[in-house]
């Protein structure tokens, strides 16, 4: 046999021996657990990791991983053990209400005044003055009006939510006040300005009466001036085609009967300041007219020759003058019943004859 065949036989034996050794499994070491691999199978979700059977490391050994506790483990942990602190929510604050008094200080829950920030200030205390006049200007933005009082100078008056406004007796708002209206205002001093407590707007005036001596009459303009017996001040009126003129006994009178010095009674419709339309004029007495008064003497002044008689026919009291030198004037006493014949002089009544219950005095 040649050498070539011997070399080839040697190489074949070596190869056979190597293959047989590679196919024989190695014997595992004592105490080691072989790893078991799961058979490969297609996974429907490629993101899910393959389960393993690796044994977790012992937690008692240094460097070992601490196993995760179950959710109820923290609830069953021993008191005093190291546990994560839980934040306790703070209790909700209880709402409180603070009531303020007139001075703006808290009153400890006792309602004794308005809120200094939200409520309107109370009505000021002080003297109330009634002022009447005509509205000359109106500012609804700043709640102000300019009032021209009857016979006085213009003044500025303010109002707010505390003010009560009435128009012909019916309560309304600030829209009830118009420029040119005749108003009457209850005013008070609030700090440095005049405050309107009540505003009365009068558009439907009622007829009024005036009585006094006629001082003058202008036939061209129809204006008459009367000295009012209550205020002793001259008051002017105007006659028009609707004014009725009559005498004391009810008879008709004319404008020619309106002589200066006559005693008249005027029923008028209120108009502008100190002037109105006369609806009816009654001529009570003209100079030289005779009158008879009968009744009780309610006042007597013998030195000045003045007495007052309560007339029984109309229950009015008239002042009558007489001559202080009248004989037997001592018979005149206060409270006596008398009958007096007097003449109207244009300035008053002067007694021509005085009759007592027992005697007659000339």
**What is the DSSP track for 257-290?**
G--TT-EEEEEEEE-STTEEEEEEEEEEE-TT-E
Find tokens 């017996």 and name the residue. 229
3-state class (DSSP) for residue 212: strand
CA distance linking residue 134 with residue 270, whole number of Å: 13
Looking from the CA of 258 toward its CB, the CA atoms found within 13 Å total 24
Contact present, 82 and 88 (Cβ < 8 Å)? no
For residue 96, CA distances in Å to 111, 112, 304 come to: 14, 17, 81
Mean pLDDT of the chain: 77
Sequence-ordered list of residues with C-beta below 8 angstroms from that of 57, at least 6 positions apart, any chain:
64, 65
- Share of residues in the chain with pLDDT > 90 (%): 27
**What CA–CA distance (Å, rounded) separates 305 from 326?**
9
User: What's the whole-model pTM score?
Assistant: 0.41
| pLDDT for residue 1 is more than 80 | no
pLDDT digits (tens, 9 = 90+) for 127-170: 899 999 999 999 999 999 999 997 788 999 999 989 999 998 89
Q: Which residue has the higher pLDDT, 90 or 255?
A: 255
Residue 187 φ then ψ, to 5°: -105, 150
Q: What's the CA dihedral at 248, 249, 251, 255 to 10 degrees?
A: -20
Q: Where would I find the beta strands (DSSP E) of the chain?
A: 129-139, 144-149, 155-158, 164-167, 170-172, 182-190, 193-202, 207-218, 223-228, 234-238, 244-247, 263-270, 275-285, 290-301, 306-311, 317-321, 337-344, 349-356, 360-361
pLDDT classification of 201: cutoffs 50, 70, 90? very high
Question: What is the per-residue pLDDT across 172-196, written as a single tens digit (0 to 9) for each?
Answer: 999 999 999 989 999 999 888 999 9
Q: Find, among 260, 301, 305, 257, the residue nearest to 283 by Cα.
A: 257
The two tokens of residue 35 are 């790893």
Which residue ranges form the domains of the chain, and what is each CATH number? 129-202 (2.40.50.320), 207-285 (2.40.50.320), 290-361 (2.40.50.320)
Q: What is the pLDDT of residues 38-56, one digit of tens each?
A: 445 444 444 444 444 444 5
Phi, psi of 278 (to 5 degrees): -75, 120
**3-state SS, residue 14:** helix
For strand 234-238 and strand 275-285, is the pairing parallel, antiparallel, or unpaired? Answer: parallel
Q: Is the pLDDT of residue 20 over 60?
A: no
Residues 144/133/271/275 CA torsion (nearest 10 deg): -150
pLDDT computed for residue 50 by the predictor? 47
CA-closest candidate to residue 135, choices 167, 174, 178: 178
pLDDT of residue 265 exceeding 60, the answer is: yes
Is the pLDDT at 238 greater than 70, yes or no? yes
Neighbour count for residue 103 (Cβ, 10 Å): 9
Residue in 335, 299, 340, 295 with CA at minimum distance from that of residue 313: 295
| Cα atoms in the Cβ-side hemisphere of radius 13 Å centred on 245 | 13
Q: Which residue has the higher pLDDT, 157 or 234?
A: 157
């Amino acid at each position: 046999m040649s050498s070539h065949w011997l070399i080839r036989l040697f190489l074949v034996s070596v190869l056979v021996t190597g293959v047989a050794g590679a196919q024989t499994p190695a014997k595992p070491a004592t105490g080691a657990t072989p790893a078991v691999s799961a058979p490969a199978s297609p996974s429907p979700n490629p993101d899910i990791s393959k389960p393993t059977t690796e044994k977790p490391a012992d937690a008692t050994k240094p460097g070992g991983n601490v196993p995760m506790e179950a959710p109820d483990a923290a609830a069953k942990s021993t008191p005093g053990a190291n546990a994560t602190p839980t934040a306790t929510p703070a209790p909700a604050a209880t709402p409180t209400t603070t009531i303020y008094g007139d001075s703006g200080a808290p009153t400890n829950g006792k309602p004794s005044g308005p809120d200094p920030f939200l409520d309107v200030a109370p009505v000021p205390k002080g003297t109330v003055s009634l002022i009447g006049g005509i509205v000359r200007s109106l500012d609804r933005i700043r709640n102000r009006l300019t009032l021209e009082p009857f016979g006085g100078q213009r003044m500025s008056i303010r109002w707010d939510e505390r003010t009560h406004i009435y128009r012909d007796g019916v309560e309304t708002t600030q829209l009830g006040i118009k420029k040119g209206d005749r108003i009457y205002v209850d005013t008070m001093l609030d700090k440095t300005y005049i405050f309107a407590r009540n505003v009365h707007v009068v558009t439907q005036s009622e007829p009024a009466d005036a009585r006094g001596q006629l001082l003058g009459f202008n036939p061209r303009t129809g204006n008459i001036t009367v000295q009012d017996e209550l205020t002793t001040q001259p008051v002017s009126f105007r006659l028009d085609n609707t004014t009725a003129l009559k005498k004391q006994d009810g008879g008709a009178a004319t404008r020619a009967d309106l002589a200066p010095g006559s005693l008249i009674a005027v029923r008028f419709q209120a108009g502008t300041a100190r002037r109105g339309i006369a609806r009816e004029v009654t001529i009570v007495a003209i100079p030289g007219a005779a009158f008879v008064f009968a009744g009780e003497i309610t006042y007597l002044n013998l030195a000045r020759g003045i007495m007052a008689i309560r007339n029984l026919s109309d229950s009015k009291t008239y002042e009558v003058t007489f001559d202080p030198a009248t004989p037997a004037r001592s018979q005149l006493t206060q409270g006596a019943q008398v009958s007096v014949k007097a003449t109207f002089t244009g300035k008053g009544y002067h007694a021509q004859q005085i009759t007592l219950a027992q005697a007659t005095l000339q």
